[in-house]
Structure 1
Amino acid sequence: MNPPPPVSVLEAFGLSGRPEPLAGGQTTVWRVGEAVLKPDTHTAQELEWQAQVLGQVSQSHFRLSRPLRAHSGSLLVEGWSAWTYLTGRHEPGRWTEIVQVSQHFHQALAAVPRPAFLAARTDPWATADRMVWGELPLDDFLAAPYMRRLAQQLRPVHAPPQLIHGDLTGNVLFSEPDAPAVIDFSPYWRPAGFALAIVVADALVWEGADEGLLEAVRSVPDFPQFFLRALIFRRIVEELSPLPIKYGQEVSDPYQSAVDLAVRLASP
């Protein structure tokens, strides 16, 4: 387990008490009272942008975790950020509700302009995202399992891009009777249908969902193309990321059935 935030960070954010580790977050997330602290690789500019955007989003169908300021006004102290603590937990199996949260959340974000810092990102997730949307070549990854088969089905998508949360599956928390909570905003500039497809891909590959989940997204235009891209995105991230992947289902090949389904849906 990684060390908790130092006392100097707690004092800077006006917090007191013993940090308690929270599930998830690669054991680097800590709760102190009504705040959550985590090591943060975002720039101060990115955090200021998140504070502004998330502070303006209406929360009629969901709750949002927002960044907290230190006494100095800063959102980042010694590499740590603090966020509002929201009750709830990730519950595998509630994928249809996560799809609904995604739809409401992205409706609320539809008018937000593209942030300039997205173009400067070079992390594995940003690299994979650019590859699946044709902004970087896929060639180096076509030898990875299923990649060529998925890539052969790709076709242009004309849906308009907007600000999306590209990692909702494990970042929607449930705690009745409260509305679902959205945490750990991962911004991308893509069609909202891509965010939905990532949820579906994650549910099928990581959590054992079956194709009945497609009923929740049957009205999404171009969904087969978004689904192909979501699977390619996750495969590239697995190739590039140093973080271990934990599958929630005990199968020899978690991608097989999802890839078969995606190819079938995308085939003429």
Structure 2
Amino acid sequence: MPSPEVLDRFAVPDDVERLPGGQGGTVRAGDLALSPDRDPALQSWLSPVQARLAYELDLAPGRRPLRLAMPVPARDGEWVVQGWAATRFEPDAEACHDLDVALAAGRLLHAHLASAVPARPDGAPLPALSLPPASGASRWDRAEAVAFAPAAALPDLLPATLADLAPLMTDVSLGPDQLVHRDLASNVLLDARGSALVIDLAPTWRPALWADAICVLDSVTWLGAPAAALRGWGSGRARQAMLRALVFRVLSDEPARRAPYSAALHAVGPR
């Protein structure tokens, strides 16, 4: 839970309520949602980008097709205090587990992000594009680096539980790299007016098709979407995106487990 100093610097009361979803650490304090384990270097770059885009999206007239959580700095202007970062709390927002809505929100978000950040910024603390991952990289960043390794290197990188996927993976382009949200499925809400609200932006610089594949994979595996949603991911670039999404998810799980992803493995795995 956030310390009294954290609450004071974000100017919120000490009446803290844990919020559902995510990794289970986000809390509500006053009109803010506070999330732990945030990287100050990343947030100092990302939060201003996210805040500008959230503001622009909120200016859309009528029922807005997309909204983005608004980052809020501490009283001294810092985006992270003792590992905690804040966004504006959205009352009456509810989790959205409709895959079509989540995919549409993600594609619209990625279009806006591609326009807002047209090139990877020099020095931006985003995950490394290639192996080896940076020192101290998270398990998600390490898994992503392996998922995007050259196909020829995969037999030596994949564990035995995923060895049968290596011969299926190629170096076909999945589209241009851009700023994407790599954890979209469980981070789309519907606000009080029914607009899609994207929260907990997990940024990386990869093709949007791969982010779509993760959204579909997570929705089928964990959020009750029908396995039929995987039918369009069994060939071509879509299959390669889903294979790399599978490698990413299995390797980033603790412990790494193949069994939960059986539906996707059946859809895109060995014939």
Q: Letter of the 2:184 partner, please give it.
A: L
How far apart, CA to CA, are the structure 2 residues paired with 1:13 and 1:30? Answer: 13
- Partner residue of 1:193? 209
- Partner residue of 2:269? 263
CA drift at 1:257? 2.2
Query: Does residue 1:229 correspond to 2:244, yes or no?
Result: yes
Query: Does residue 1:55 correspond to 2:88, yes or no?
Result: no
Query: Are 1:38 and 1:81, in contact at CA under 8 Å, matched by a contact in 2?
Result: yes
Q: Evaluate the alpha carbon distance shift between residue 259 and residue 19 of structure 1 in structure 2; reply closer, same or farther with a 3 A threshold.
A: same
Query: Does residue 1:96 correspond to 2:100, yes or no?
Result: yes
SS state of the match for residue 186, structure 2? coil
Query: Does residue 1:148 correspond to 2:156, yes or no?
Result: no
- Partner residue of 1:74? 78
Moved over 3 A (4+): 135-138
Q: Letter of the 2:179 partner, please give it.
A: L
Query: Are 1:124 and 1:240, in contact at CA under 8 Å, matched by a contact in 2?
Result: no
Q: Evaluate the alpha carbon distance shift between residue 128 and residue 240 of structure 1 in structure 2; reply closer, same or farther with a 3 A threshold.
A: farther
Structure 2 unaligned residues grouped into runs of 5+:
58-63, 129-133
How far apart, CA to CA, are the structure 1 residues paired with 2:4 and 2:73? Answer: 16
How far apart, CA to CA, are the structure 2 residues paired with 1:143 and 1:212? Answer: 28
How far apart, CA to CA, are the structure 2 residues paired with 1:70 and 1:10? Answer: 9
Structure 1 unaligned residues grouped into runs of 5+:
246-251
Q: 1:24 aligns with which of 21, 24, 28?
A: 21
Moved more, 65-74 or 104-113: 65-74
Q: 2:113 aligns with which of 104, 109, 115?
A: 109
* Cα deviation 1:2-32 (Å, max 9, x = unaligned): xx32222222111125111111233321101
- Partner residue of 1:249? none
- Partner residue of 1:248? none
* Identity score, percent: 32
Q: Evaluate the alpha carbon distance shift between residue 163 and residue 71 of structure 1 in structure 2; reply closer, same or farther with a 3 A threshold.
A: same
> Given the two structures, how large is their TM-score scaled by the length of structure 1?
0.82
Aligned residues: 247
Query: Does residue 1:124 correspond to 2:139, yes or no?
Result: yes
Query: Does residue 1:175 correspond to 2:191, yes or no?
Result: yes
CA drift at 1:176? 4.5
Query: Does residue 1:84 correspond to 2:88, yes or no?
Result: yes
Query: Are 1:86 and 1:181, in contact at CA under 8 Å, matched by a contact in 2?
Result: no
* Cα deviation 1:129-173 (Å, max 9, x = unaligned): 1111116954343302xx122222111232111110000010011
> Given the two structures, how large is their TM-score scaled by the length of structure 2?
0.81
How far apart, CA to CA, are the structure 1 residues paired with 2:207 and 2:255? Answer: 24
Across the aligned residues of Structure 1 and Structure 2, the Cα RMSD in angstroms comes to: 2.6
Query: Are 1:96 and 1:213, in contact at CA under 8 Å, matched by a contact in 2?
Result: no
Query: Are 2:214 and 2:242, in contact at CA under 8 Å, matched by a contact in 1?
Result: yes
Q: Evaluate the alpha carbon distance shift between residue 13 and residue 221 of structure 1 in structure 2; reply closer, same or farther with a 3 A threshold.
A: farther
